[in-house]
Amino acid sequence: TQLLEQSPQFLSIQEGENLTVYCNSSSVFSSLQWYRQEPGEGPVLLVTVVTGGEVKKLKRLTFQFGDARKDSSLHITAAQPGDTGLYLCAGARNNFNKFYFGSGTKLNVKP
Amino acid sequence: DAGVIQSPRHEVTEMGQEVTLRCKPISGHDYLFWYRQTMMRGLELLIYFNNNVPIDDSGMPEDRFSAKMPNASFSTLKIQPSEPRDSAVYFCASSSRGGDQPQHFGDGTRLSIL
């Protein structure tokens, strides 16, 4: 059983559409990170959130950390083919160096 | 900066053979992490080091797995003897100061055990 559950597992949309992916847990996290991974490469960090209720924006990407620090969401506005990839959330609990990764959301944006 | 460098990129070997995966972290990074990624279990932390010292190896699946970091610029993950269920992509990552600092991942080693 994964400590962090991500949904949906797969998402295929047209260019220009909006989407939201979710990262949920019954555990509280001291910090949460979002990564994007492309085929044949390692994950690349997008953002870190540490405060309950925190919202961070990265161009067309909006990240939110739940008030109780148990969940997070990633919203993409006007998706582009370059957004295609595997999106992973990772949370750290008491051990700030040990991150638990979710199973990921595989996003495909069609031109 | 060159980033985290892993070798080999691909490894195919027969069951029972010893496998050694190598990692060169980013210069100046104090933390080094080994992960394994599979379709079934996702990305799992195997072990991590701080200043070359293993801190948490609770994710290492069995005694067949061992990891070392003889100096700040080199780490190995060894599997002996290897089994088909060890087939996965193995990633090394490094970070400075740990905590919520970003982990920089290598491109991984795709391991296939026949």
pLDDT digits (tens, 9 = 90+) for B10-57: 999 999 999 999 999 999 999 999 999 998 889 999 999 999 999 999
The pLDDT confidence band at residue A1, using thresholds 50, 70 and 90, is: low
Q: Looking at the complex, report in whole angstroms how far the Cα of residue A48 sits from the nearest Cα belonging to chain B.
A: 7
In this complex, do A48 and B102 lie within 8 Å of one another by their Cβ atoms? yes
CA B82, chain centre distance (Å): 15
**φ, ψ at A50 (rounded to 5°):** -130, -20
Q: What is the pLDDT of residue B46?
A: 96
Rg (CA), chain B: 13
From chain A, the residues in CB contact with B98 under 8 A are: 96-97
In this complex, do A45 and B103 lie within 8 Å of one another by their Cβ atoms? yes
The answer to whether the Cα torsion of A49, A50, A51, A52 is positive or negative is: positive
pLDDT higher than threshold 70 for residue A70: yes
- Lowest-confidence region among A49-53, B25-29, B95-99: B95-99
